[in-house]
Amino acid sequence: MRGGLWQLGQSITRRLAQADKKAVTRRCFATEADLKKTVLYDFHVAHGGKMVPFAGYSMPIQYKDSIMDSTLNCRENGSLFDVSHMCGLSLKGKDCIPFLEKLVVADVAGLQDGTGTLTVFTNEKGGSIDDSVITKVKNDHIYLVVNAGCRDKDLAHIEAHMKLFKAKGGDVSWHIHDERSLLALQGPLSAPVLQKMTKDDLSKLYFGEFKMLDISGVPCYLTRTGYTGEDGFEISIPSEHAVDIAKEILEKSEGKVRLTGLGARDSLRLEAGLCLYGNDMEQHITPVEAGLAWAIGKRRRAEGGFLGAEVILKQLADGPSISRVGLISSGPPARSHSEIQNEKGENIGEVTSGGFSPCLKKNIAMGYVKSGAHKPGTKVKVVIRGKSYDGAVTKMPFVPTKYYKP
């Protein structure tokens, strides 16, 4: 187990550093003074948070618990994550939906009020600029959250297209929610604990749904979503109340919900088969190749109208040349860029994320392979430090998801 713990910590640290380096090119020169701090920084330090640079912020990679224990506790009880480094924003105006639909693959107009979906911002070649969870609050208000490491490029991309759209008479404006903080409460105790803090009936709020409500008297945006595969919520809070809400969540759980850092968050999302932008999705990878064709709405498939639609619709019709797959392998955990070979020793792809699964107690990974080699059960070789190890393509998620659905 000790070897597994060490390998887990090492692989997660490398994976997060790599995604961070790709997203923000200056990271290797960042000093503590350069790094931004969320309003919970002192709270993290006081609770034993081990702070590391991530996406321009000083963020906790873990607390007093090991990454292994934190991962297991999230699945058994619950975890509280500070994700305030991520960027929340609102688009408003009568044309905010047609504007956003030029940039993403989702059928935003088809969403019911107060519901959301995962989507992808695409470029002219069909590649992925970023993935994002978007919510249709109502017809003239969209709320979305973009990845911290992609913030600058995402905002520049949205702003450039907004100027063109408005110049043609479109009615859309935006507000970046830098005045708010974001907490993610995940795990089986998330709903019972949060229910103690609000009068609204959370049993009527299902996965992917959004509501503006009071939590302990504080006006919050609540989305039933997350990045762990567990039931849970993302809570957007006025920053001056974030520490108090975090403290109360921990207190109401009687110690069962624990503060959890980036390390366990990464192992949890890998077990859930979820992409990490900068590793598993990049500018040259399309949503179809990334296994996110389900996020392209039926109407969007028929009409197109988003950046790179020609490339993406062709892939939907003909199939992509590469596909994202899950992998189980022997030997040491696979690393990003580990070569994937067929049984003849021929290159068929590359690992993008890999590590030791705390829940399954074995190596898991995801990566891209040539189409034809993507079917579950396909035997492969994974090359790690010049030596090949047996592996097999497997279905994702590795650990069953527990989203709260009707």
271 is in an annotated binding site: no
Per-residue DSSP letter, 20: H
Q: Mind giving me the DSSP string for 64-121?
A: SS-HHHHHHHHHHTEEEEE-TTSEEEEEESTTHHHHHHTTBSS-STTSPTTEEEEEEE
Q: Confirm if 328 and 355 have CB atoms less than 8 A apart.
A: no
Q: Confirm if 371 and 318 have CB atoms less than 8 A apart.
A: no
How far apart (Å, rounded) are the C-alpha atoms in residues 241 and 218?
Answer: 7
Burial class (CB in 10 A: 0-12, 13-18, 19+), 262: buried
* 3-class secondary structure per residue, 273-322: CCCCECCCECCCCCCCCCCCHHHCCHHHHHHCCCCCHHHHHHHHHHCCCE
Contact 301, 313 (CB under 8 A): yes
Residue positions forming the annotated binding site: 234
Residue positions forming the annotated binding site for substrate: 234
